[in-house]
Structure 1
Amino acid sequence: MNIVFSINKFGLTGLGATLVSLIRNCSNNADLALVFLCSDINTHDKQNIKNLLVNENFTGRAKFIDFDAKKEFGHLKALHGDYTCYGRLLIPKLLPSEDQALYLDADLLVLLDVLELKEFNFNEKILAAVYGSTITYTLDKRFFLDKLKWKDTTAYFNSGVILFNLKQWRIYNINAKVKALIEKYPLDLTSHDQTLLNAVSNGQFERLPSKFNTAWLPGKNQAHNLEDKIIHFIGSPKPWDMVGKIIHNGYRSWLGYTTKNWKKKYCKTNINKLKRAWKIRRSIIKKLK
């Protein structure tokens, strides 16, 4: 089963816990093929990922694919000045011989067995995701209502956990549709790749059970138990961000899957953490208040 991540320097801190939880809760990790789409990830970082996999007794396959996020997507709307989030749009092109791939953000705790999705029935949909809401309650609702002329009852999903039906994606030539949307609305993508993926799905996506993308927002208590779920640390700050330990109630849960070695390498205060803190300063101030 293909599991794909799109990562940069900022994503490495959270990636450790995502990988550890993924492997430890998988019934047979030899069945996993991990693909890392790397933007500005150096050889040292890649080796640290490999070492983490070895230490967790990972027996599947791992592959690293480099891409330049700014070169590929720099003409689009950035997320806190970064374009790595668009990397998941490259999955159908970079895995041309595969029929299915599970994309995971690097801010998750995977507390279930992802192999449950190995034989998932897409019912000919191009992707599967957890239903979030109708577009009425989304940040990019004006794009869908005013530009695409959708009904306000159209279904919408969060793109942090996406199961791609790559075979059907190719049949419907979805890459061409993505390209057309990018060319027509480069600065209207309020929620970035999420806006695009919802746009090409047109509300017609197969529904994953809600346990596959369970949000945990900063400042909120986790309402349900943490068993048999994928916990998604949506929003900012994340548990590992500066002051995240104070603001985010998921800090201890995240720390529980962050190895000592990973914490030593990627959880210290450094220039990248300071840069990110500055970019998300409004969210930090809001949550502190």
Structure 2
Amino acid sequence: MNIAFCINHFGMIGLGTTVLSLLRNCSQPEKLVLWFLCEGLSNEDKMQIKKLLLKEDYKGSYRFIDFSPSTVFGSLNSLHGDWTAYGRLLLADFIDEDQVLYLDSDLVVELDVLKELVVFDFQGQPLAAVSSGFFKYTLGNRFYTGKVGLSPDLEYFNSGVLLINLKDWRLRSVKEECFNIAKKFAMNLPSHDQSLLNIYCAGHFAKLPRSFNCEWPSHRPKPNVSDNMIFHFVGSPKPWDPLGRLIHNGYQTWMKYTDQEWLNYFTPVKISNLKRLWNLRRSYTRCILNKFNI
């Protein structure tokens, strides 16, 4: 089974926990093939991934693929100057297989992906995801229903966990269709590549079980969808961000799968970390107010 990640240095701290939880809860991890799409990762960053897999005694295979998302997607909206997530649109170019499970690097995977996806029916769709509700309830609802013209009652999905039918994706030229959409709305996309995929699908996508993407904002209690779930730490701050120990309700769940050596390597105090803290200052304020009902 193919598992893909799109990663840069800032996402590495979360990646370690996502990978370890994936492997430790998989019945046959040696059957997994891990694909790391790397944006600007240093050789030392890649060495940390190799060391983590070796320490875990991982018997499966893995691949590193270097790519430059800003070169391809630089004309589109970025997330604080970061275009890495758009790499999801390129998976069919890099992975010559029939399907792949894409995972964000802010997850804890507490279900067995092999058992859950041993047989999956895409029902003629190029991707499968967990429904997040309807366009009328999204943050960008005015854009989707007004500017794009989508029905407010169509279903919407979070792209943090996607099962992609790579063969069908290539046949339908999904990447090219997303680029065509991007040309129309380049600087108006509320959620970057997630917006492109949702506009392309227009509510038509195969459904993954709800347990595959259980969104967990920092101030909310632990999701209670099933016995085994994929927890997705949506929004900011993340459990590993400054003060995450105090204000993120998922901190202990995240720490359960966090390797201390990995944590020590990727959390030294740097200017870039302080810049991230400053960029997220409003998120911290909202989180603290919500958590303590202020």
Alignment partners' CA distance in 1, 2:111 and 2:268: 29
Task: Name the TM-score, length of structure 1 as normaliser.
Answer: 0.96
Asked if 1:103 is matched to 2:132, the reply is no
Q: Describe the shift of the 1:223–1:129 C-alpha distance in structure 2 as closer, same or farther (beyond 3 A).
A: closer
Q: Deviations over 1:51-102 (max 9, x none)?
A: 101111111111011111222211111112211111111111111x211011
Asked if 1:71 is matched to 2:81, the reply is no
Any unmatched runs of 5+ in structure 1? none
Task: Name the TM-score, length of structure 2 as normaliser.
Answer: 0.95
Any unmatched runs of 5+ in structure 2? 290-294
Output aligned runs, 1:258-277, within 5 Å.
258-277=258-277
SS in 1 for 2:65: strand
Asked if 1:147 is matched to 2:162, the reply is no
CA contact (8 A) 2:214 2:223 kept: no
Asked if 1:288 is matched to 2:256, the reply is no
Aligned twin of 1:112: 111
Aligned twin of 1:157: 157
Aligned twin of 1:132: 132
- After the TM superposition, list the runs of 4 or more consecutive aligned residues in structure 1 that deviate by more than 3 angstroms: none
CA contact (8 A) 2:211 2:225 kept: no
* Equivalent AA in structure 2 for residue 198 of structure 1: N
Alignment partners' CA distance in 1, 2:232 and 2:77: 23
Alignment partners' CA distance in 2, 1:280 and 1:149: 32
Aligned twin of 1:212: 212
Offset, 1:223: 4.0
SS in 1 for 2:275: helix
The alignment-based identity, stated in percent, is 46
CA contact (8 A) 1:30 1:59 kept: yes
Output aligned runs, 1:234-249, within 5 Å.
234-249=234-249
Alignment partners' CA distance in 2, 1:124 and 1:54: 38
Alignment partners' CA distance in 2, 1:70 and 1:170: 22
Alignment partners' CA distance in 1, 2:157 and 2:225: 23
* Equivalent AA in structure 2 for residue 235 of structure 1: G
Offset, 1:7: 0.6
- For this pair of structures, how many residues does the alignment match? 288
Asked if 1:85 is matched to 2:89, the reply is no
Alignment partners' CA distance in 2, 1:108 and 1:126: 23
Alignment partners' CA distance in 1, 2:227 and 2:45: 30
Question: How large is the Cα RMSD of the aligned pairs?
Answer: 1.3
Q: Deviations over 1:260-284 (max 9, x none)?
A: 1111111333333212112211101
